């Protein structure tokens, strides 16, 4: 009986997603841009630029001065245009420039840009999906939520929250799926349409209140394990009492530990700023990852500090 009820509810929620998905107002861009993708345009101001081989830009999508997501611009794959549709160059992208992604793919914590508009503008509120949860239940790899976007008491959009994603309160404290309850406000900081026409997110904020300046959890703790995966070093950090607990985050599904990738681009240093090698990050060491990219299942370190 319970299984039948869940299947009925799933059909209804997915059906509502297809009906109402067109009702969500997109970020204002040129009409010829919006037709190129079934994704919501993502707009923001560039607050950080990083380039090793490809250009990575950190976008502030809510005008609070902090970067909210990373976008990768490839010289031979990304099409860049200005507000009038004329070709633009990656050299036009600098700190302070406004950027709108109109066609993109999500890859392990960043957006691979297929097409973007470089020019003037301000972040739009509609960049962020948000509404009141009407129903929520676990199904497969996601928690399916039906959202009321306009506070009229009716469901407008189905959102799939990935079990491996980040669920936080407005202050940045880590939560779990049990926080996805009816009558609770949910905001998705990243989202993408899947093949079934439903929105999928891997980073949500749950609860009332303004987002704090720190919407990601603090990534620090004791190194309990080191391992290599695909030729890249990873460490598992065990956090002390009072820190946010993130369940089942690593490839080995170690509950309560934080999986951190120490890739070739990671800068390792001690508290005095002296550069360190991977060999100096041993089991039992205290490690603080102060700069990172959120990826599905782990944190990709950009700056890691070995504490004494």
- Would you list the domain boundaries of the chain? 31-119, 128-206, 219-307
pLDDT at 256: 55
Q: Rounded to an integer, what distance in angstroms lies between the CA atom of residue 301 and that of residue 59?
A: 18
For 9-42, the DSSP string reads HHHHHHHHHHHHGGGSPPP---HHHHTT-SSPPE
Residue 199: per-residue pLDDT: 82
Which residue, chain included where needed, has tokens 């998705």?
188
Tokens 């297929």 locate to 114
The CATH architecture that domain 219-307 belongs to is Beta Barrel (2.40)
Q: Which residues pair with 110 in a beta bridge?
A: 107
**Residue 36 CB partners (closer than 8 Å, separation 6+):** 102, 103, 115
Q: What is the pTM of this model?
A: 0.49
Q: Are 129 and 157 in contact (CB under 8 A)?
A: yes
pLDDT for the residue 247 = 39
Annotation: CATH topology of 128-206: OB fold (Dihydrolipoamide Acetyltransferase, E2P) (2.40.50)
State the Cα–Cα distance between residues 191 and 247, nearest whole angstrom.
22
| Distance separating alpha carbons of residues 301 and 235, to the nearest angstrom | 11
CATH 3.20.20.210 fits 31-119, yes or no: no
Cβ distance 24 to 34 under 8 Å? no
Encode 227-248: b = buried (16+ Cβ within 10 Å), e = exposed.
Answer: eeeeeebbbbbebeeebbbbee
- Our measurement of the distance from residue 212's CA atom to the centroid of its chain's CA atoms, rounded to an integer in Å, reads 16
Predicted local distance difference test score (pLDDT) of residue 53:
63
Beta carbons within 8 Å of 128's beta carbon, 6+ residues apart: 61, 62, 187, 188, 189
Domains 31-119 and 219-307 alike in fold: yes
Of 296, 162, 176, 180, which is closest to residue 247 (Cα–Cα)?
176
Specify the pLDDT at position 151.
86
pLDDT at 55 (0 to 100): 84
Closest CA to 183 of 163, 161, 207, 199: 207
pLDDT in tens, the chain (308 residues): 434 444 444 444 444 443 333 333 333 334 344 444 466 788 888 888 776 567 888 888 877 777 888 888 988 889 999 888 889 888 888 778 889 998 888 876 788 899 999 986 554 444 467 899 999 999 888 999 999 988 888 888 889 998 877 888 888 787 889 999 999 999 887 777 676 667 888 788 899 887 776 666 778 889 999 988 888 899 988 875 434 444 333 333 334 577 899 988 889 999 988 999 999 999 999 999 988 877 666 788 888 999 98
Element (H, E) at 259: strand 257-262
């Amino acid at each position: 009986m319970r299984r039948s009820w869940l299947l009925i509810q799933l059909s209804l929620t997915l059906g509502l997603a297809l009906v109402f998905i067109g009702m969500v107002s997109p970020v204002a861009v040129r009409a010829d841009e919006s037709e190129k993708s079934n994704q919501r345009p993502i707009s923001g101001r560039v607050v950080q630029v990083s380039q090793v081989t490809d250009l990575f830009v950190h976008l502030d999508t809510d005008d609070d001065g902090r970067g909210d997501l990373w976008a990768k611009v490839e010289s031979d794959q990304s099409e860049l245009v200005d507000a009038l549709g004329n070709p633009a160059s990656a050299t036009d992208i600098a700190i302070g420039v406004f950027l709108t992604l109109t066609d993109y793919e999500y890859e392990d914590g960043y957006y691979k840009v297929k097409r973007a508009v470089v020019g003037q503008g301000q972040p739009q509120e509609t960049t962020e999906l948000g509404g009141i949860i009407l129903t929520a239940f676990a199904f497969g790899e996601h928690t399916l939520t039906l959202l009321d976007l306009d506070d009229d008491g009716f469901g407008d959009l189905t959102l799939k929250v990935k079990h491996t994603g980040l669920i936080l309160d407005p202050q940045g404290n880590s939560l779990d799926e049990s926080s996805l309850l009816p009558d609770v406000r949910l905001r998705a900081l990243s989202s993408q349409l899947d093949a079934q026409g439903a929105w999928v997110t891997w980073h949500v904020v749950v609860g009332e209140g303004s987002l704090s300046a720190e919407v990601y959890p603090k990534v620090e703790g004791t190194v309990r394990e080191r391992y290599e995966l695909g030729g890249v070093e990873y460490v598992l950090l065990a956090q002390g009492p009072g820190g946010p607990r993130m369940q089942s985050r690593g490839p080995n599904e170690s509950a309560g530990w934080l999986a951190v990738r120490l890739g070739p681009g990671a800068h390792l240093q001690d508290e005095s700023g002296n550069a360190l090698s991977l060999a100096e990050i041993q089991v039992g060491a205290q490690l603080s990852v102060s700069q990172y990219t959120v990826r599905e299942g782990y944190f990709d370190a950009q700056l890691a500090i070995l504490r004494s």
